[in-house]
Amino acid sequence: MPDIATFAYLACTMLYVFLVSLLAVSWRGRLQGALLISAALFSVAWSAVHAYQHWISILPAWLIFMVEIFRDIAWILFMLGLLNYGRYKILPKLVEYTIYFLCILVAITGLGVEFYFESYTLYSPSNQVSIIGILLLALSGLILVEQLYRNNRGSATNSTKYLAISLGTIFAYDIYTYSTLYILKEVDSHVWIIRGGINALIVPILVIFARRNPELSLEIFVSRHIVFYTTSLIGAGLYLLTVAVGGYYIQRHGGEWSAVFQAVFFVIAAIMLIYILTSSANRATLKIFLSKHFYENKYDYGEEWMRLNSILSEQKDVEEVRKQVIVALTDILDSSGAQLWIKQESGGYACIDSLSIPVSNNIVEEDDKLVMFLNRRNWIVDIDEYMRTPDLYAELVLPSWLSDIKAVWLIIPLQHRNNLLGFVVMAHPNISRKINWEDRDLLKVVTDQVASYLAVVTMTEELDRAYQFDAFNRLSAYVVHDLKNLVAQLGLVVANAEKHRHNPAFLDDVVTTVENAVAKMDRLLAQLRKDRFQKPVKINSTINSEIKKAVENMSNTAPIPVFHDYHEPIIMDIDTDRLTAIVEHLIRNAQEATEDDGQIDVSLIKSDNNAIIEISDTGHGMDKLFMQNRLFKPFDTTKGNAGMGIGVYEARQFVQQFGGKIKVNSQLGEGTQFVLKLPIKSRLNS
């Protein structure tokens, strides 16, 4: 039946299999890496044999001794490889050859003796040779561990200490175990059981060594999230195991009240576990511990960069972007809170948002000592360091309002294109820590990205305002243009009033013209109130009558336009007021470009579910260069002060927004033709 020893050696086997998998995937072809993989494979066989032995208890002693010998030889060869082919190269040849000879001698002698005197008991007179051989190998292993650790140089120091801890523990415990077996002719079962647990515990240390040693050409990567959560789960499991043992003890020795005591104990233990797992200080402490002891670098820079970009790119609202900037910076350093200060258009820097710190009402002027220092040096100000050694921050004078912030820790500049866009005031983290060069480097990269993003957000706001002003200006230009046309119509009435005031037909035309002018001015005022660019589309409008109305309105000026109507109604969903205004403007342009005895034709036809409006004249025409460069350019006119240069531009905008096309054909001295092609959109036709 399996017992504790079986599970201990089985756990050791699984961990060594995990180590072999990592090493095999990450191996880049160097000899040292191959030797480490071989040693780990022999360790897998060693632990598997011992697990099976404790489960079945019928394996021969020779098999146990053979896996012991070859595992030790594998680790010795790995260390010899490091000493002679790595950066060290300090082992004397005599010592090297002696150890090689000893390994070969122990292997051959042990194999021969064990096969000749087959035994099923761990200690027998025939096994003394193998026991002595294992003791010699363990002693040689300790010597090599000492040589490795004592002669390491440079960046190898941090990695070699992990190898010394792990292999030194293995060989030292083997010396204790087999010397006890040799002297006392037996070994305590607990000592043998503990070997499995000890060998299992040293596997993570070997992983750290392999990760940090450049001689192995291994690129082992384990996600920081996986390590963090796995460590947390292991810690929670050990905690629950301890609680279970405590509950069992209370049950056995608690007497009559044992059930009550046990329930209270479990409730308290559960509350403490929840507190431990949810404490931000504990999480921060664990992250720092894992970064220091499991990774060369304190941060996973790729992960931090992707996380920052994800935080910034997901936010669309400006205020939310600024809040997430604070969250991103505080998460990096586990800070308890921060304030974001941004440069204002009116001058100075204001606190626009904060996290876990009250928003400050102060305005920091641009000539403030702090602002000038941050702008000139672009340094992260460590307040604790400033208090200890103010000489490092020459000319810096901290403002008085900083004293209002409890536990102020850092002031981080946000610089964009050598200009101080803003800065972040950060409070102390949940645990005591100091920032080092890695923190500063990461913050420099992050703040550069944050500053660029905030600059884009700020410019986007400014562009939005500029667009609003531009839209208002364009709206004003269109309104003035329409008013100009109305004034022109009313001006003709005034000019002809003295001559035709007694003509009843003229008076009727005057009344009609004034009514049309009033109606158009009312529509203009209505559009000003609700934004002209929200077109008031009229459903199922017959455009034939609208084009005819435009022609009639322009018939009081020579040459009089002639309308050629389509033989059936063309029904569309369209802004008829704008359509009429555009046709009138194009007719007026044609009249101004054509002599009084000339000809202007306005035609309406239907082709392929499109309404086509043609306005042709026999005027002086336009050259190709003018049509390409100036015709549709807003505010460019050939009429001097009499024109505004936006009529044709507005016509094209209207047609394109409706989904149509506008085409111009013109020849100098022959005339011009405007063709407006509008897709027919109506509910009756759909």
Residues 177-217 have pLDDT tens digits of 888 777 777 766 777 777 888 888 888 888 777 766 655 54
Bridge partners, 574 (sequence order): 538
482 falls within a domain: no
What phi and psi values does residue 355 have, to the nearest 5 degrees? -135, 115
Residue in the structure block whose two tokens are 């850092």: 410
* One-character DSSP codes across 275-304: HHHH-HHHHHHHHHHHHHHH-SSSS-HHHH
Q: What is the pLDDT of residue 536?
A: 56
Q: What is the pTM of this model?
A: 0.39
| Same-domain status, 290 and 379 | no
**Is 534 a residue whose pLDDT tops 60?**
no
Predicted local distance difference test score (pLDDT) of residue 613: 94
Q: What is the pLDDT of residue 604?
A: 93
- pLDDT at site 594: 92
The pLDDT assigned to 409 comes to 87
Per residue in 472-493, pLDDT (tens digit) is 566 666 566 667 667 777 777 7
Residue count (the chain): 686
Residue 11 or residue 465, greater confidence: 11
Domain membership of residue 527 (yes or no) is: no
Is residue 331 located within the same domain as residue 457? yes
Mean predicted confidence (pLDDT) in 500-524: 75
Mean pLDDT (whole number) for 208-235: 57
Same domain, 191 and 264: no
pLDDT of 598 reads: 92
Task: Note whether 213 and 279 are same-domain residues.
Answer: no
pLDDT band at 500 (very low <50, low <70, confident <90, very high): confident
Residue ending a domain, among 439, 461, 483, is 461
The 3-state DSSP class for residue 160 equals: helix
Q: Indicate whether 32 and 168 sit together in one domain.
A: yes
Q: What is the pLDDT at residue 58?
A: 67
| CATH for 317 | 3.30.450.40
Residue 573 has pLDDT above 60, yes or no: yes
- With 50 as the cut, is the pLDDT of residue 156 above it? no
The pLDDT of residue 188 is 67
- Long-range contacts of range 522-528, CB-CB < 8 Å, 24 or more positions apart? 523/577, 524/479, 524/482, 524/483, 527/479, 528/475, 528/479
3 state DSSP class of 19: helix
Tell me what pLDDT residue 187 has: 66
Report phi then psi at 628, rounded to 5.
-75, -35
- Which phi and psi angles does 338 have, rounded to 5°? -160, 160
**In which band, very low, low, confident or very high, does the pLDDT at 1 lie, cut at 50, 70 and 90?**
very low
DSSP 3-state of 358: coil
In this prediction, residue 88 carries a pLDDT of: 46
Quote the percentage of the chain above a pLDDT of 70: 68
Residue 628 lies in a domain: yes
Q: What distances in angstroms separate CA 497 from CA 358, 506, 520, one per listed residue?
A: 73, 8, 22
Question: Are 68 and 137 within one domain?
Answer: yes
Residue 165 within any structural domain of the chain: yes
327 and 403 fall within a common domain? yes
User: What is the domain extent for residue 141?
Assistant: 4-221
Please provide residue 481's backbone torsions phi and psi, each rounded to the nearest 5 degrees: -60, -45
Q: Kindly report the backbone phi and psi dihedral angles of residue 153, in degrees, each rounded to the nearest multiple of 5, phi listed first.
A: -140, 150
**Three-state DSSP class for residue 84:** helix
Q: Compute the distance between CA of residue 520 and CA of residue 152 in angstroms, rounded to an integer.
A: 93
Instruction: Check whether 649 has a pLDDT greater than 90.
Output: no
Residue where a domain terminates, one of 461, 491, 519: 461
Q: Residue 360's pLDDT is what?
A: 83
Element (H, E) at 145: helix 128-150
pLDDT at 137: 84
* CB contact at 8 A, 218 and 23: yes
Q: Are residues 449 and 365 in the same domain?
A: yes
Given a cut of 90, is residue 357 above it in pLDDT?
no
Residues 52 and 163 in one domain: yes
Residue of 158, 408, 424, 435 lying closest to 288 (CA atoms): 435
Using left for φ > 0, alpha for ψ between -120 and 50, and beta otherwise, residue 637 falls in beta
Distance CA 359, CA 338 (A): 10
Amino acid identity, residue 260?
Answer: V
Q: Is residue 447 assigned to a domain? A: yes
Q: Tell whether 210 and 76 lie within a shared domain.
A: yes
Confidence of residue 614 (pLDDT cuts 50, 70, 90): very high
- 283-318 pLDDT, tens per residue? 555 555 555 545 445 555 566 667 777 777 765 566
Greater confidence, 285 or 40? Answer: 40
Q: Is residue 368 part of a domain?
A: yes
- Distance, in Å, from the CA atom of 89 to the CA atom of 32, rounded to the nearest integer, reads 13
The string of pLDDT tens digits covering residues 243-290 is 666 666 666 666 666 666 666 666 777 777 676 666 655 555 555 555
Please tell me the total count of domains within the chain. Answer: 4
Of 272, 294, 316, which one is at a domain's C-terminal end?
294
Q: What pLDDT sits at residue 423? A: 93
Nearest to 203 by CA among 161, 166, 233: 166
DSSP 210-258: HHH-GGG-------HHHHHHHHHHHHHHHHHHHHHHHHHHHHHHSGGGH
CATH number at residue 24: 1.20.1070.10
Q: Is there a domain that residue 496 lies in?
A: no
Residues 315 and 395 in one domain: yes
CATH number for the domain spanning 625: value is 3.30.565.10
Per DSSP, 361 falls in state -
Residues 403-448: pLDDT tens digits? 777 778 899 999 888 889 899 998 888 777 777 767 777 788 888 8
d(CA 462, CA 421): 15
Angle, CA 275 vertex, CA 269 and CA 279 arms, to 5°: 150
Quote the DSSP letter at residue 561.
P
Going by pLDDT thresholds of 50, 70 and 90, the confidence category of residue 539 is confident
Distance CA 421, CA 349 (A): 9
The average confidence (pLDDT) of the chain is 75
Rounded to whole angstroms, the Cα distance separating 555 from 548 reads 11
In 3D space, the residue among 634, 504, 603, 619 whose CA is nearest the CA of residue 559 turns out to be: 619
Task: Examine the pLDDT at 462 and tell me if it is beyond 80.
Answer: no
DSSP state of 594: S
Same domain? For 281 and 152 the reply is no
Position 612 scores a pLDDT of: 93
Domain-located, residue 26: yes
Per-residue model confidence as pLDDT tens digits over 83-110: 765 544 555 565 666 777 677 777 677 6
- 57 compared with 339, residue with greater pLDDT: 339
